[in-house]
Structure 1
Amino acid sequence: MTPTAGSSALTVPPISSAEPPPVWFLTPEGFFALPLADDPAERVERAESFVRQLYSRGSEEIWAPAAPTYATLAERIGDTGVSYAALGLFSTSEEERTPTGDVARHDLSEGAAQCAFTLAAVPTEQEAGAVDVVAQGIVAALSKDTFNDVQWLDLPCGPAVSCVTWRQYQLGPEVTAAAEPTDFVTAEIQVHVPFPTGPFTAVFTLVTASTDHWTQFVDMMGGILQTVSFADPVEALTE
């Protein structure tokens, strides 16, 4: 489960003075962005496109009922303040890899690893450029929970704080159709990146139940974080 190099550039644009400044980053092939949009008609249109990408081998029988479901999900996610959300689907079949180890295509017939990925901008009180102070405060706050694995990161865009958390749930037979309760384990990595351009912190979250592939997901998150920028990369190239 090795994603290819970043395939899409994403921007969280400012809408008003109360909105966070823009942030740019790349996601790997295999990420399918949920149809977040303020306008209901645009959300429906994006949902129809989303299901055709997600179920690329499907038909109208699959796409038609799925699109409204994802449009509703996107509306609810958008109401939480999330600016970007995606589902990541990756083949676990070694036969579907290229000679360099990259995933040739997201053919999931031989098994799949999946994750959910979101970005939210959280207001934080900070003076312009005081990103180290904010990051230190985040470290102190997250470290209070002994179950959190908290680390300081030095990214190309500035300081950041990562927090890894594992959770175990017990699912009853009515959910799993098994005779006995079943343990369900998830792993989450959440990375807080203070904006140098305004009083906000970008919170990137990746969560998965495909814990056998946790190392690859951590590497994937690391690759995404290396592309985070608070300045337009296109403008930087033309300067």
Structure 2
Amino acid sequence: MSTPETLQDLTIEGAVLPPMAFRLPDGMHAIEVSLDADEREQAAQQLVREIYPRGEIPLWEAMGSLYSTMADQMLASGIGFFGIGLYGLEDDRGVAHCSLTVAAYESGETDQEVVAQGVKALLLRDPLREVTWLDLPCGPAVCGVSFQKLVVDGGYTKSGQDEELIMGQIQVHIPFATGPYTAVFTLDTASVEQWDEFAHAVAGIVGSVEFPPSTAPAGLPD
């Protein structure tokens, strides 16, 4: 069963954005970065218990501290949400993993169609990115898909030799229906063998996006 997630009080340089809601698929473990500091720490501790259910307290404390610090850094950089997806492979061949972040930026335009057309034109400047127009239930959106080849130093590989690593990214820009802002959902993974599964997961996530009525107008807090 999917888990409902709602981003409330997401901010950009002091401006409070209208609320946005979406659903996560099974296997995605998440922290809402826009929580206050204590709640983020509690969410990080819960996250590591979900990811490592057979772990012990020292592991939970160490990883919880790591994820809590990551959440603080993401909040400072404008990211309002991050999740880690872990999916077991068939025949006990290991685990496929991905990361999901949600950020937002001010677009200065309330017409969703106009914003989406501008995003599409911008993304098309990169010839290595595959760009697709999406008609979501919440309005128009633009998806960009790209792959990057990285070289991992042999000091961090099982073989002891430098190894090439292919990273895939799916990024979906969704203009808000309730204000001059655009949400950016970004999924990154090195498990490109499971690309179809991750693409399906992203389609479900962005297809569930809603912009509920805000109880207060967006803008600078008093």
Distance 1:64 1:179 in 2: 30
Unpaired runs of at least 5, structure 1: 95-108, 233-239
**2:42 — aligned with what?**
45
Q: TM-score, normalised by structure 2?
A: 0.88
1:121 lines up with 2:116 in the alignment:
no
Number of residues paired by the alignment? 211
Q: How far 1:63 sits from its partner (Å)?
A: 1.1
Task: Provide the secondary structure at the position in 2 that maps to 1:150.
Answer: strand
Distance 1:118 1:29 in 2: 16
Aligned match of 1:150 in 131, 148, 151?
A: 131
CA 1:231/1:93 → structure 2, altered by over 3 Å: closer, same or farther? same
Q: TM-score, normalised by structure 1?
A: 0.82
**C-alpha contact 1:159 1:194 (8 A) present in aligned 2:** yes
Q: What amino acid is the match of 1:70?
A: Y
Q: What amino acid is the match of 1:116?
A: S
Q: How far 1:138 sits from its partner (Å)?
A: 0.5
Which structure is higher in RCO with an 8 Å CA cutoff and minimum separation 6?
A: 2
Task: Provide the secondary structure at the position in 1 that maps to 2:182.
Answer: strand
Q: How far 1:166 sits from its partner (Å)?
A: 0.3
CA 1:80/1:173 → structure 2, altered by over 3 Å: closer, same or farther? same
Aligned match of 2:68 in 67, 71, 74?
A: 71
Q: CA RMSD in A?
A: 1.9
CA 1:80/1:110 → structure 2, altered by over 3 Å: closer, same or farther? same
**1:103 — aligned with what?**
none
Give a deviation string over 1:63-83, Cα, whole Å, max 9, x none.
122221111111111111111
Unpaired runs of at least 5, structure 2: 214-222
Distance 1:66 1:200 in 2: 33
CA 1:222/1:113 → structure 2, altered by over 3 Å: closer, same or farther? same
Task: Provide the secondary structure at the position in 1 that maps to 2:15.
Answer: coil
Q: How far 1:38 sits from its partner (Å)?
A: 5.3
CA 1:35/1:9 → structure 2, altered by over 3 Å: closer, same or farther? closer
Distance 1:184 1:61 in 2: 31
Aligned match of 2:53 in 44, 51, 56?
A: 56
1:213 lines up with 2:194 in the alignment:
yes
1:196 lines up with 2:177 in the alignment:
yes
Structure 1 or 2: larger strand share? 2
